[in-house]
Amino acid sequence: MNVKAFGPIYKSLEYKNGGIELSFDHAENGFVVKGEAQGFEIAGKDEEFVKADITINGSKIFIKSDAVEKPLYARYNWFNYCEVTIFNETGIPLAPFRTEK
């Protein structure tokens, strides 16, 4: 019996096309979005985070904002309270995260 007991967890990032492509463990079959995908923010060297636009492509999430010229950092649901809208195929939510410096 193969039980998938973990939700998606941030693994790594790649800088591309003026944004950040995020990779995750435990999301091999992609993501399920309930409602509008939200909670992603992006920042440059100044670490001033702004809301990011997102594109989900399989098990990767690409984030970008016209307000950040050279993005360096990303975070997801880095608030005291926020609505969770992104899950893996088994219904376990994406864990909040902040990329390291």
The number of domains in the chain is 1
Is residue 96 one of the residues assigned to a domain?
A: no
Is residue 98 one of the residues assigned to a domain?
A: no
Q: Residue 31 belongs to what domain range?
A: 9-90
CA distance 87 to 101: 26
User: Which stretches of the chain score pLDDT less than 50?
Assistant: 1-3
Is residue 48 one of the residues assigned to a domain?
A: yes
Is residue 95 one of the residues assigned to a domain?
A: no
Is residue 3 one of the residues assigned to a domain?
A: no
Of 23, 1, 27, the residue nearest 11 (C-alpha):
23
Residue 89 and residue 58 in contact, taking contact as beta carbons nearer than 8 Å: no
* pLDDT number for residue 101: 60
* pLDDT number for residue 5: 78
Q: What backbone phi and psi angles, to 5 degrees, belong to 39? A: 100, -5
Is residue 100 one of the residues assigned to a domain?
A: no
Is residue 70 one of the residues assigned to a domain?
A: yes
Q: What is the pTM of this model?
A: 0.91
Output the CA angle 63-65-71, nearest 5 degrees: 75
Is residue 2 one of the residues assigned to a domain?
A: no
* pLDDT number for residue 1: 39
